[in-house]
Amino acid sequence: MRRLLSLILMLTVLTACGGTPTPAPLTHVKLAMGYIPDIQFAPFYTAAEKGYFKEQGIEIEFVTMFENDSVPLVGTNEMQFALVSAEQILQARAQGLPVKYVMKWWDKYPVAIVSKAELGIKSPADLKGRTVGLPGLYGASYIGWQALLNAEGLPQDTAQLESIGFTQAEAIAAGQVDAAVVYANNEPVKLADAGTQVNVIYVADYVQLASNGLATNEQTIKDHPELVRGLVAAALRGMADTIANPDEAVEISKKYVETLAAADEATQATARKVLVASIDMWETANPGISDKARWETTQSVLLNMGLITSPLDVEQAFTNEFVKP
């Protein structure tokens, strides 16, 4: 009995000394994404809401900004992660910035050419002599346009380009241009939902380019590989859940996209269609895995455009090490 009492007393003292284990502190991470919160970021909102980042020891903060602002910050390690297009990675590395792409997000390159169906523009050749609007002579839209021309052997003056900012849907609806360079998951869906019959030429049907994904820098990879792996793992889980249950992802996204939460029923329905169109461009048998051939094709386009002046070792621009188990 004395031995039993001594054992109980010892356990009581040990418990009192130990107390409740203190959870390890979370690592605060800023993730830069597009210039406004949007339904297309549903995989990341889902991962945050379901605690997938926290399970990896990450306290996530979403920051919105343009790619040309986020890439230099990531390259100088002022920010560790950003969602960017692949061509931004190659252009940054050509300027000596040690950015690296660690997870493919979009499988299909998301740029497309949209036009009113009544104009009969169904192939790249049909664009000859037309007016084509695009945000400007920069970014993924312009690169997608040039890649399409290159793939079809069409000259630079095939169409008359007009810089119209991010007003493509309005410009098409009003007939200000014959066609517009857009994101395939966005403007075509919104135009069709508003009652405008459209034809869509998908760049991905003509040329395979490396697309949007998660980027970090070589210093973070060297010093905090577990952080990179954790962020990738959480993001891929969020993507899988979004693909499996888009309705749930829409509801989750309302918490992060104020305009969506305040929107009427019709606008929310359109947002769901945009998400479904996005999912079609994300789905792949190899989630997160980059393909060297697509990076080489992307580099060829950039060289032809003069956006980079000499070939890079594309295998230094991306890695699959954090995606593979």
Identify the band that residue 23 occupies on the pLDDT scale cut at 50, 70 and 90. low
Q: Where are the alpha helices (DSSP H) in 19-98?
A: 42-49, 52-55, 67-75, 86-94
Residues 6+ apart with CB under 8 A from 188: 112, 114, 182, 198, 200, 277
Sheet holding 81-84, edge to edge: 58-64, 27-33, 81-84, 213-217, 99-104
| Under 8 Å between Cβ of 236 and 287 | yes
Which structure tokens are listed for 60? 């996530």
Question: In this predicted model, what pLDDT tens digit does every residue of 118-167 receive, in sequence order?
Answer: 999 999 999 999 999 999 998 899 999 999 999 999 999 999 999 999 99
pTM of the predicted model as reported, rounded to 2 decimal places: 0.90
DSSP secondary structure, 296-309, as one string: HHHHHHHHHHTSSS
Q: Which two tokens stand for residue 257?
A: 């996209």
What would the DSSP string read from start to end of 124-156?
GGGGTT-EEEES-SSHHHHHHHHHHHHHHT--G
3-state secondary structure (DSSP) of residue 74: helix
Say if residue 48's pLDDT is above 50. yes
Amino acid residing at 35 = Y
Residue 316 three-state SS: helix
Higher-pLDDT residue of 274, 9: 274
Percent of the chain surpassing pLDDT 70: 93
Closest CA to 216 of 63, 57, 51, 76: 76
Identify the pLDDT of residue 4: 42
DSSP 107: S
- Cα dihedral across residues 29, 33, 35, 37: positive or negative: negative
The region of weakest confidence among 22-26, 212-216, 283-287, 293-297 is: 22-26
Distance between CA atoms of residues 294 and 276, nearest Å? 24
- Residue (of 21, 17, 27, 45) closest to 254 by Cα position: 45
How many CB atoms lie under 10 A from the CB of residue 53? 26
